[in-house]
A = this chain, B = another copy of it.
């Protein structure tokens, strides 16, 4: 049997790995998923991503590509069918802008809201809501179903990989970030995104995610208290 051409090194719980899976599935690219123990960095991870030692790593014909946004871009350029980025340079620059905005102003902030408490956590929740407000404005201005237009694209995957975790993050950390009344277009977008065949979580998967998030929150709070 021939070696699979595309391998994805990842972990079960990672929005960064999830968005790469989404792009591969959307484009119908077959791949082998190799699950890694991120704590005891495996030799294969160290070999393929010696600088950051992080997943996801996409290995295509033996060559490693790292960092989720760079991997999405690589997937787009290598398998051009079912595009996830606009071809027009200006529209593509806008997609890059929104991805960067989401990473800096939402992804990192939601993560920090999960791992903190008290005043610091309140600040994070406030900032995450500000980001949702900006994204709501963008959906309104563009009048599109998805950030990618009529179909799901790069920006949707970058944001959706985080919003799929939002309910579990809120449940575990006792905060409320998303409010359907304040962000009705984001709310509809989240529902549409959740209905896609390659983004669904079943109830067992959701339960395990909640358990995982609760664990890392407790570890982070204990570490902060021990300082």
Q: Which residues of A contact B (CB under 8 A)?
A: 51, 60, 63, 65-67, 70-71, 73-74, 77-78, 89-90, 92-93, 96-97, 100-101, 134
Contact = CB atoms under 8 A, between A and B. Distances in A.
Contacts of A74: 89-90, 92-93
5 contacts: A65-B97, A67-B96, A67-B100, A74-B90, A77-B89
- 9 cross-chain pairs, A with B, having the tightest CB-CB distances, nearest first: A77-B89, A74-B93, A70-B96, A65-B93, A78-B89, A70-B93, A74-B89, A63-B90, A70-B97
A97 B66 contact: yes
Stoichiometry (number of copies):
2
Nearest to A78: B89
A3 B67 CA distance: 40
Contacts of A77: 89, 92
Contacts of A97: 65-67, 70
Task: Select the residue from A74, A93, A100, A101 with max chain B CB neighbours within 10 A.
Answer: A93
Nearest to A95: B70
Nearest to A74: B93
Contacts of A100: 67, 70
Contacts of A60: 90
Contacts of A101: 51
Contact of A90 (B65, B92, B134): B65
Nearest to A104: B52
